[in-house]
Structure 1
């Protein structure tokens, strides 16, 4: 009951005030046990309005950020989703709940293994791979792409993997200058960009400051 009360408080006091009104998103936040994906030493902070450390300098995003991103992406069943940076696997579970077709790439093998085990335990189907997202074959196309680490500068790499009408979430910049944007592919290799919030995420590991960087 304590977890259920904390979950309810998170939704009512953190998520709704951020204008997250999507029934699908609010339902998955209620149904998917976020605490199951949180490292043991941080279980008591599962529903707190903070980033939670995962090791390797990686973190779970704050709940309100996750919820806002999911609402903005407006994911539908059957859409093909790519997640760059699996982390704990919680956001992966949320994406799988919405689409049912998720590929997630994680650089750290131990995080990938842990996330895959937890997702399987809850009967979520997602393809978890260890490697470099920038090694994607150019023919790989997705309806939705979620990049969970910030980019030091904008790159068109992920945009080129969007289907027409596809949506990309990414954070560009660092510190106070970082902005989270929703990029929509509108056809003819054209894209519409919308800043959806100002937030800083941990940079993609080893991402250099010039184009041609790797994850």
Structure 2
């Protein structure tokens, strides 16, 4: 099976059956080669239905979970998007097919540079990945219409919410005990409405755990 057929099969068996109906997302998944964003040793497994570790603490999600959260974020063609913890750059590449501009932020400078190089190799010129503290977002380039977080967290930094435009959406997987849910936070003035959209359990994003409490 060649890669184009594998992408189509992934969409038909993992994405469409899980209520992802936005054809723009289908087209983005079809046109962005997942294998480019994985180590060579993982290329043959690029379209299998599980998470792939791309570097320490960074993963390419299962297509089902990723596509469902992207659809829930309701990204529009004129949106500016912040991609938190971009990893190898795959999420930024997909988001760039849907939005006007995407900027990814990664903790490690070498990781950010490598992700940007992959985007360049695919002629994706409306997305870039820069180095920075992912917990702080990227205030210098905000505010954003959408902030997309690659990994599940227990704690949501206030900085992420503060960098949303009015009616902006924060798309994130939140862990609470044994439960893990995809949520969309929408800004209205200084308030944030929240809705849970589906259950999912992608790997945790390191550094966003709740502080342990001590019982005496």
TM-score by length of 2: 0.89
> What is the CA distance between 1:98 and its match in structure 2?
0.9
2:128 and 2:205 map into 1 onto residues whose CA distance is 20
- Residues 34 and 46 in structure 1, CA contact (< 8 A), matched pair in contact too: yes
- Residues 151 and 205 in structure 2, CA contact (< 8 A), matched pair in contact too: yes
The 5 A counterparts of 1:86-125 are 86-125=86-125
What do the CA deviations read for 1:124-171 (whole angstroms, capped 9, x no partner)?
Answer: 122311120334438831000001122223443312211111111111
1:134 corresponding residue in structure 2 = 135
1:73 corresponding residue in structure 2 = 73
> What is the CA distance between 1:207 and its match in structure 2?
3.0
What do the CA deviations read for 1:99-140 (whole angstroms, capped 9, x no partner)?
Answer: 131110011233222211110011112231112033443883
- Residues 82 and 142 in structure 1, CA contact (< 8 A), matched pair in contact too: yes
The 5 A counterparts of 1:12-27 are 12-27=12-27
TM-score by length of 1: 0.89
2:60 corresponding residue in structure 1 = 60
1:159 corresponding residue in structure 2 = 161
2:51 corresponding residue in structure 1 = 51
> What is the CA distance between 1:174 and its match in structure 2?
5.7
RMSD of equivalent CA atoms: 2.0
The 5 A counterparts of 1:146-185 are 146-173=148-175, 176-185=178-187
1:213 corresponding residue in structure 2 = none
The 5 A counterparts of 1:198-209 are 198-209=199-210
> What is the CA distance between 1:80 and its match in structure 2?
0.9
1:188 corresponding residue in structure 2 = 189
Unpaired runs of 5+ residues, structure 1, are 211-215
> What is the CA distance between 1:206 and its match in structure 2?
2.7
User: Where has structure 1 moved over 4 Å in runs of 4 or more?
Assistant: none
Which of the numbers 139, 144, 147 marks the counterpart of 1:145? 147
> What is the CA distance between 1:201 and its match in structure 2?
2.9
Unpaired runs of 5+ residues, structure 2, are 212-216
